[in-house]
Structure 1
């Protein structure tokens, strides 16, 4: 029985630090299913419903709400209470007409930022890899685990605008100097800045980016920069940024 429990649950003290649960309240918490986001970069849907949105008082109530299809992720009802929710996902509660986008705060915690009806129609996905397939088309591998087949050319690091739930790529933001980017890792996580320069290395060392904010210029890894627009972010951000 202990082995079965370990597959379905996770010891609280082993849960990621950004999860809004107390490690000493109970021995176990819900373990995310395998899905679009890694455990370190996601929240189980049950925790989102119970601990963040607080539309349920306990796990049982949260499971009922989720099983009824009352929670949409990227425009689709997700009935698995262990479903992993992560960066840039759009969470919708149709009954209360509330919509949120998952974003990081300055402490690296995932938060739910309220967004408008217009903002709920799309999400931003970064190209992590690409492959040329039969017919000369390109398959994009995106940060949230989805794959898209496109005819246009995109580069790794570019961000595509994806209609949801149709999953159709409608636009893209090129990863280049002059764009506005959100820092999603490192000590500057959650900060918004302008990409001043991208430093491409010719070795095994990672590429870096010089980012300018109101406080000055800092250097960070290219993988930590998620571009949001050419001059202004195309999505709303916490704090009115």
Structure 2
């Protein structure tokens, strides 16, 4: 039993800090399956249905709702209660006509931000890596585990606007000075700013970015922590109406 428990479940005190559970309530919690997001940057679907959205009172009811296909992730019904949901994913409950986008708060916790139905059909995906494949095509590896074959013209750090569930790239946002970025790591997690300067080092030190907030305050963060979300205006709705 101990072996099966360790495979299917996760001890609560070992769960990521951003999970909305109390470490002392029970010994075990749901362990996400392998999927598009790593465990450190995701929430199992059951926790979202039961603990965040509160549409189920217990795990059994949450599993029934999920198994019935009542919860959509990026436009597709996900019937695995351990499916890992992560940053920028779109959660939809057709029965209640409610839609949410997964975003980080200022403490680095993943939260569900309510959005209007018109915004449910797209998501932003950051290019984390790209490689050249046979035929001269380029493969983009995106932050949510997706891979896309495209013509050249994209670079690592850019963000593509992806139509879901079709998974078609409809536009992109370049990682360049002047564009708007959401900080996804470090002490400035959750903050929004405009890219003021990109500092590329020629050593083993990480590249950094100087950001400027709406009230003209500046701060420095790692380049990898900046997720561009718009040019003149953010392409997505943000908490607090930003």
Instruction: Specify if TM > 0.5.
Output: yes
Partner residue in 1 for 2:203: 203
Q: Distance in 1 between matches of 2:50 and 2:24?
A: 17
Q: Distance in 1 between matches of 2:163 and 2:55?
A: 27
How big is each residue's C-alpha offset from its partner over 1:164-220, in whole Å with a ceiling of 9 and x where there is no partner?
A: 000000100000000000011000100000100001111222110000112611110
1:83-232 equivalences in 2 (<5 Å): 83-213=83-213, 214=215, 216-232=217-233
User: Is the counterpart of residue 65 in structure 1 residue 76 in structure 2?
Assistant: no
Q: Distance in 2 between matches of 1:204 and 1:94?
A: 49
How big is each residue's C-alpha offset from its partner over 1:102-133, in whole Å with a ceiling of 9 and x where there is no partner?
A: 00001111110011122101000000000111
**Normalising by the residue count of structure 1, what TM-score does the alignment of the two structures yield?**
0.99
Partner residue in 2 for 1:2: 2
Q: Distance in 2 between matches of 1:215 and 1:19?
A: 33
Q: Which runs of 5+ in 1 are unaligned?
A: none
How far residue 35 of structure 1 moved from its aligned partner, in angstroms, is 0.7
Q: Which runs of 4+ in 1 moved over 3 A?
A: none
**Normalising by the residue count of structure 2, what TM-score does the alignment of the two structures yield?**
0.98
Q: 1:240 to 1:149 in 2, by over 3 A?
A: same
Partner residue in 1 for 2:29: 29
Q: Secondary structure at the match of 2:141?
A: strand
Q: Distance in 1 between matches of 2:131 and 2:119?
A: 29
Q: Secondary structure at the match of 2:232?
A: coil
How far residue 152 of structure 1 moved from its aligned partner, in angstroms, is 3.7
Judge conservation of contact 1:106–1:190 (CA < 8 Å) in 2.
Answer: yes
Aligned length: 241
CA RMSD of aligned residues (A): 0.8
Q: Distance in 2 between matches of 1:215 and 1:179?
A: 15
Q: Distance in 2 between matches of 1:151 and 1:165?
A: 21
How big is each residue's C-alpha offset from its partner over 1:28-62, in whole Å with a ceiling of 9 and x where there is no partner?
A: 00001011111111100000000000000000000
1:73-84 equivalences in 2 (<5 Å): 73-84=73-84
How far residue 223 of structure 1 moved from its aligned partner, in angstroms, is 0.6
Q: Distance in 1 between matches of 2:95 and 2:203?
A: 53
Q: Distance in 2 between matches of 1:173 and 1:165?
A: 20
How far residue 135 of structure 1 moved from its aligned partner, in angstroms, is 1.5
Q: Distance in 2 between matches of 1:79 and 1:215?
A: 46
